[in-house]
Chain A
Amino acid sequence: MKVQVIGCNHHTTDIEFRERLAFQPNQVTDALDQFQKTHPDTEAVLLSTCNRVELYTASEKSAACPSHKEVVDFFAAYHGLNAADIASELRQLSGEEAIRHLFTTAASLDSMVVGEAQILSQVKQAYETANNGDFTGPLTHASFQAALRVAKRIATETALHKRRISIPSVAVADFASQFFERFDDKTVLVIGAGEMGEETLQYLIDLNATDIHIVNRSIDRAEDLASRTAGEAQPWEMLDSLLIKADLVVSTTAANEPIITVDHYKDISQKRFQRPLFVLDLAVPRDFEPAIGDELGAYLYSIDDLQAVCDKNQRARQRELPKALEIVESETAKFMAELNHRTTIPWVKQLREQADSIKQDELARLINKLDGLGESGRKELEISFDRLVNKLLHPPLESLRDDASKGLEHGLLDALKRLFQLRE
Chain B
Amino acid sequence: MFSLLGAEWMSRISLSCFAFSYAITMILEISRIFFRVPVRWAVIVLITVAGLFAHGTFIWLKMNTADGGTPVASWQQWCLIVSLGLAIIYLIIALRRPENAFGVFFLPVILALILIAMAADDTTGFDKTHTTTWSAIHGFSLLAGTISVALGFVAGIMYLIQAYRLKHKLPPRAGFRLPSLEWLQNSNRRTLWLSTALLAIGLLSGIIINVQRHAGSEAGIPWTNATILSSAALFMWLIATSIFEYVYRPARQGQKIAYLTIASFVFLAFVLTFVILGDHASGTASTSGVEVSQQEAGS
Contact = CB atoms under 8 A, between A and B. Distances in A.
Interface of A: 156-157, 159, 162-163, 170, 174-175, 177-182, 273-276, 293, 296-297, 299, 301, 305, 308-309, 312-313
B256 to A, nearest CB: 8
9 shortest A-B CB distances, which residue pairs?
A274-B250, A273-B249, A181-B182, A181-B180, A181-B183, A305-B169, A174-B171, A309-B171, A273-B250
A159 B253 contact: no
Given A178-B180, A180-B180, A181-B182, A273 B253 contact: yes
Interface string B180-215: 111100100000000000000000000000000000
Given A180-B182, A182-B182, A276-B253, 4 more contacts: A159-B174, A181-B183, A275-B250, A309-B169
Given A156-B38, A273-B250, A296-B254, A179 B182 contact: yes
B27 interface: no
Interface residues of B, number: 24
B246 to A, nearest CB: 13
A280 to B, nearest CB: 11
Nearest to A294: B167
A160 to B, nearest CB: 11
A178 B254 contact: no
Contacts of B249: 273-274
Contacts of A275: 250, 253-254
Interface in B161-185: 162, 165-167, 169, 171-172, 174, 177-183
B290 to A, nearest CB: 39
B167 A299 contact: yes
Q: Is the interface of B mostly helix, strand, loop or mixed?
A: helix
A42 to B, nearest CB: 38
Interface string B240-262: 00000000011011110000000
Scoring B177, B178, B250 by chain A CB atoms within 10 A of each residue's CB, the highest score goes to B250
B36 interface: yes
A312 B171 contact: yes
Given A276-B254, A296-B254, A297-B253, A179 B166 contact: yes
A313 B172 CA distance: 11
Contacts of B180: 177-181
A178 B181 contact: yes
Contacts of A301: 169
Contacts of A180: 180-182
Nearest to A174: B171
Interface of B: 36, 38, 162, 165-167, 169, 171-172, 174, 177-183, 186, 249-250, 252-255
B70 to A, nearest CB: 42
B181 A276 contact: yes
B162 A178 contact: yes
A301 B165 CA distance: 12
A162 B176 CA distance: 13
A31 to B, nearest CB: 40
A412 to B, nearest CB: 38
Scoring A178, A181, A273, A308 by chain B CB atoms within 10 A of each residue's CB, the highest score goes to A178
Contact of B171 (A296, A297, A299, A313): A313
B172 A174 contact: yes
Contacts of B183: 181
Scoring A162, A175, A177, A308 by chain B CB atoms within 10 A of each residue's CB, the highest score goes to A175
A237 to B, nearest CB: 26
B148 to A, nearest CB: 21
Nearest to B256: A274
A175 B174 CA distance: 14
A178 B36 contact: no
B38 A274 contact: no
A180 B183 CA distance: 7
A313 B182 CA distance: 25
Nearest to A273: B249
23 contacts: A159-B36, A170-B171, A174-B171, A175-B169, A178-B172, A178-B180, A178-B181, A180-B181, A181-B179, A181-B182, A181-B186, A182-B182, A273-B249, A274-B250, A274-B254, A275-B253, A275-B254, A276-B253, A296-B255, A299-B166, A301-B169, A308-B169, A309-B169
Contacts of B179: 181
A167 to B, nearest CB: 13
Contacts of B169: 175, 301, 305, 308-309
Contacts of A309: 169, 171
A274 B171 contact: no
Scoring A181, A308, A309 by chain B CB atoms within 10 A of each residue's CB, the highest score goes to A181
A157 B36 CA distance: 8
A120 to B, nearest CB: 19
Given A162-B174, A170-B171, A297 B182 contact: no
A273 B166 CA distance: 20
A327 to B, nearest CB: 13
A159 B32 CA distance: 13
A157 to B, nearest CB: 7
Given A157-B36, A305-B169, A178 B178 contact: yes
Nearest to A159: B174
A65 to B, nearest CB: 38
A177 to B, nearest CB: 7
B37 to A, nearest CB: 10
